[in-house]
Structure 1
Amino acid sequence: MSINVLIVDDSGVMRAMILKSLRMSGLPLGETHQAANGQEGLDVLNQHWVDLVIVDINMPVMNGEEMIDRMRESPEIKDIPIVVISTEGSKTRLEKLQQKGAAFIHKPFSPETIRDTIRDIMNLGGDDEGAD
């Protein structure tokens, strides 16, 4: 099974870093889509099959929290797993995001952190290293 991913971040450099980390993570990637803000992200979700959304919080036009709210209100996309990657430090805001079912990764991050968080939120078993 390959994972179709949508990366939503207003920084093209950050989207490229997340995509590179995903490729390095060893996860089975399918199609990858990108958007520069929450509204563009919702447009992509209406046009493509996506298994996982990775979203930043602070973006112009529509921020990540608003995008998550819209996703959770829509029957077609409300169950898509969401990982927030952000520099956000507010404990209150992080708790709100977790209540909405989103996992959180702090910037900066490693490919291993992304891999483990995605495996956890998507209930993908990890490969036991050294086991044959």
Structure 2
Amino acid sequence: KLQDIFRRTAVDLLGEQATLVMPARRNRGGSTDMGDLSHIIPACHPYTAGAVGPGHSKEYVITDYETAVIVPAKIMAMVVIELLADGAKQAKEVKANHRPLMTKQAYVKFQRERAEIIEFDGAA
């Protein structure tokens, strides 16, 4: 599983105490394109420390560039190396073991059926 590979790699770099995997039942209250993608392809959406303030706000500030940017980039690069090593053995395993919740066609159909046009004239 992709998340397991990411976590192992993070632990190798940072140590057990510096990593945390949130339980699947925990809802963070947001939505992402990554959530959509995970219905179709193997996906992992890690978060990092090193910032304060509400996300997407003017108060959001990177307070530790190393922790917020450099370390996650190192982990992601290490994950890519691990996935592609040995003839991409682990990447092939991740793909083979992934059970998508929807086919690409079913996902596109679902999105098209729920899409709507909302016009705002600013006068209301």
Shared fold (TM-score greater than 0.5)?
A: no
Question: What is the TM-score with the length of structure 1 in the denominator?
Answer: 0.26
Higher helix proportion, which one? 2
Whose radius of gyration is greater, 1 or 2?
Answer: 2
Which protein has greater RCO, CA pairs closer than 8 Å, 6+ apart?
2
Question: What is the TM-score with the length of structure 2 in the denominator?
Answer: 0.27
Higher strand proportion, which one? 1
